[in-house]
Structure 1
Amino acid sequence: MSTLRVTAEVLTVHEHPDADALELAQVGLYRAVVAKGAFRSGEVALYIPEQAVLPDELIEELGLTGRLAGAAADRVRAVRLRGELSQGIVCRPKALDGDDLAVAAVEGTDFAERLGITKWVPPIPPTMNGEVERAPELLPWVDIENIQRHPDIFTPGEPVVLTEKLHGSACLLTYVADEGRVYVSSKGFGATSLALKEDPRNLYWRAVHAHGVREAAARLAERLGARRIGVFGEVYGAGVQDLTYGADGRRASLGYAVFDVSAEIEGTVRWLDTAVLDGELPVVPRLYEGPYDIGRVLSVASGRETVSGRELHLREGVVIRPAGERYSAVTGGRAIAKAVSPAYLTRKGGTEYE
């Protein structure tokens, strides 16, 4: 999940193709449906992204009572309004009446805390939960920003790789060679350097044992001369999320695919191509390798899944990486981003567990 920031943005306003009283306010490559005449191109307004949880008073002020997502009807999510995808909310809250939003846009001011806006945290089902322990040696995963919010992470023509983004639950494994020890965690627990104690009922430990992830990480550490190996995989199937890819997360046939690998070698942590596993573990499908083009990225993000080989359901999206790992001044870290399918965002009955 990407980071939550509520910022002032310069808008580009477009006509709504199928509604005389509505328009589309564009922020980055996102578009939010707004009332006609509420904003003009070049003006600055606040942008509240998807997965933001709003306080009741702001919901009432914006006229959104009962119209947002979640049990409390307080969460922003993508919707289609008169046929157009609307992602996020564009507004000018009364609490910011005295602020110079044009200056805030230049400075990148984050208004989330001031407005009482928080980031939605997915629930943790019992099979993904468990007793935890401190794990300072755990190699962390990173939040991935959406390319539509930050389209300049990559430059046109730059060689990139697109891999399929799977709708499951991220399993973080760190193998520490000099201790011969392995730590297993989820994305949520891993963000606070916590690991799950071994439990045969836990989804992540079941995946690690079923696919021999610990053993593969140990062999890779020996091959590379690494002190630590991080293997980051998606666990998927029925009972995990609503998209199953033909697997069953409740049985031994639970799905697992590696989407990233890291290694600490001579004191430096490096991100490696999943090809370094040399076929020892299943990996997420590669859908495209070639020059970066945002149109192609958004096109590939949609369609049918390829994991099962049977196109059983829609595709969640893609993850974009440079052909060679590099730093990004936009993210302040890795050059990596995601693009999510509009059909995935607006599907009915979807689950979003951590």
Structure 2
Amino acid sequence: MSTLRVTVERLTVLAHPNADALELAQVGLYRAVVAKGAFRTGDFALYIPEQAVLPAALIEELGLTGRLAGSAHDRVRAVRLRGELSQGLVCRPRALAAVDLELAAKEGVDFAGALGIVKWSPPVPTSMNGEVEPAPELLPWTDVENLRRHPHVFEEGEPVVVTEKLHGTACLLTYVAGDGRVLVSSKGFGAKGLGLKEDDRNLYWRAVRGHGVPGAAARLADRLGATRVGIFAEVYGSGVQDLAYGARGGAADAPPGYAVFDVSAEIDGQVRWLDPALVLADGELPLVPRLFEGPYVLAEVLELANGRETVSGRGLHLREGVVIRAATERHSPVTGGRALAKAVSPAYLTRKGGTEYE
């Protein structure tokens, strides 16, 4: 899940093709449905992204009481309004009345704290939970920003790799070469520097043991001369999320589905990000499906986010989306981090009964 920032943005206003009283306010490549005449192209307004949880007073001020997602009707999520996908909210709250919006946009001011807006934290099922302990040597994972929010992360024609984004739960494993220790964590716990104590009932430990990940990480550390190796993967299957790809969720006779999407290694004191397909031996570990390698074309990458999943080989359900990375690892001045982004399928965003556990 990407970082929550609530910022002022310059709008491009477009006509709504199916409603005379509505328009589309565009931020990056996101479009939010707004009342006709509320904004004009070039205006500055606050953009509240998906997965933001709003305080009751702000919900009432915006006239959204009872209209947002979640049991408390306080969470922003993607919806279709008169046939058009609306992602996020565009507004001008009273609290910003005295703010120079153009200056705030230029400086990238984050108003989340001032407005009491927080990021939604999904509930954690028992199988994904467990006893934790400090894990200072755990190699961390990074948040992946949305390509529609930052369409210029990559340059047109730049060589990229596009892989399928799986709807599971991120599993972090770090192998420490000095003493052979194995640290396992989830994305949420890992962000806090915590590891999960080994437990046969825990989903992540069942996955890494069932797929032989510690051994693969140890062999990779030896090949690279690394002091630490991080293996980052999606754990999936029935009971993990609503999209299961035909895999078991970790029954006694089989481990849950597991697919590696990234690798890092500490070599000579420096942590480097590596392409799993290049550094892992063929068939050593399951990898997320690779959909495309070649020059970056924004429209073509966004189209790849749609369609059916390829993980099962049977197209059992819709595709969550794709992850795009620079073919040669580099820093992105657009996001301030890695040149890495995701594009999510509109059908996935608006599906009914979906789960979003971390």
Q: TM-score range by the shorter chain?
A: over 0.9
Shift of 1:67: 0.6
Q: What is residue 13 of structure 1 aligned with on the other side?
A: 13
Shift of 1:331: 1.7
Cα distance in structure 2, aligned partners of 1:234 and 1:113: 31
Query: What is the SS of the residue equivalent to 1:151?
Result: coil
> Where do residues 122-271 of structure 1 align in structure 2 (5 Å cutoff)?
122-251=122-251, 252-271=254-273
Contact 2:128 2:202 in 1 (8 A): yes
Contact 1:237 1:243 in 2 (8 A): yes
Shift of 1:253: 4.4
> Which residue identity does 2:267 align to in structure 1?
I
Cα distance in structure 2, aligned partners of 1:350 and 1:184: 26
1:339 paired to 2:349: no
Contact 2:10 2:27 in 1 (8 A): yes
Q: What is residue 275 of structure 2 aligned with on the other side?
A: 273
Give me the TM-score of the superposition, normalised by structure 1.
0.99
Contact 1:6 1:49 in 2 (8 A): yes
Cα distance in structure 2, aligned partners of 1:102 and 1:30: 19
Q: What is residue 30 of structure 2 aligned with on the other side?
A: 30
> Which residue identity does 1:70 align to in structure 2?
G
Deviations 1:119-162 (A, max 9, x none): 00111110000000000000000000001101111111101110
Contact 1:29 1:149 in 2 (8 A): yes
Contact 2:206 2:255 in 1 (8 A): no
Shift of 1:290: 1.0
> Where do residues 279-294 of structure 1 align in structure 2 (5 Å cutoff)?
279=282, 280-294=284-298
Contact 1:163 1:286 in 2 (8 A): yes
Cα distance in structure 2, aligned partners of 1:13 and 1:340: 23
Cα distance in structure 2, aligned partners of 1:81 and 1:256: 36
> Which residue identity does 1:55 align to in structure 2?
P
Cα distance in structure 1, aligned partners of 2:269 and 2:25: 47
> Which residue identity does 1:265 align to in structure 2?
I
Ranges of 4+ aligned residues in structure 1 off by more than 3 Å? none
Cα distance in structure 1, aligned partners of 2:200 and 2:118: 34
Query: What is the SS of the residue equivalent to 1:218?
Result: helix
The equivalent position to 1:317 in structure 2, one of 317, 321, 336, is 321
Q: How many residues align?
A: 354
Cα distance in structure 1, aligned partners of 2:102 and 2:332: 25
Q: What is residue 77 of structure 1 aligned with on the other side?
A: 77
Deviations 1:63-95 (A, max 9, x none): 111110111100000000000000000000011
Contact 1:247 1:253 in 2 (8 A): no
Contact 1:46 1:91 in 2 (8 A): yes
Cα distance in structure 2, aligned partners of 1:8 and 1:327: 25
Cα distance in structure 2, aligned partners of 1:5 and 1:253: 37
The equivalent position to 1:329 in structure 2, one of 316, 321, 333, is 333
Shift of 1:256: 0.3
> Which residue identity does 1:312 align to in structure 2?
L
Query: What is the SS of the residue equivalent to 1:229?
Result: strand
Query: What is the SS of the residue equivalent to 2:214?
Result: helix
Cα distance in structure 1, aligned partners of 2:172 and 2:334: 25
> Where do residues 30-109 of structure 1 align in structure 2 (5 Å cutoff)?
30-109=30-109
> Which residue identity does 1:350 align to in structure 2?
G
Give the percent of matched residue pairs that are identical in Structure 1 and Structure 2: 77
Q: Supply the RMSD in Å over aligned alpha carbons.
A: 0.6
Cα distance in structure 2, aligned partners of 1:104 and 1:41: 18
Give me the TM-score of the superposition, normalised by structure 2.
0.98
Cα distance in structure 2, aligned partners of 1:145 and 1:267: 27
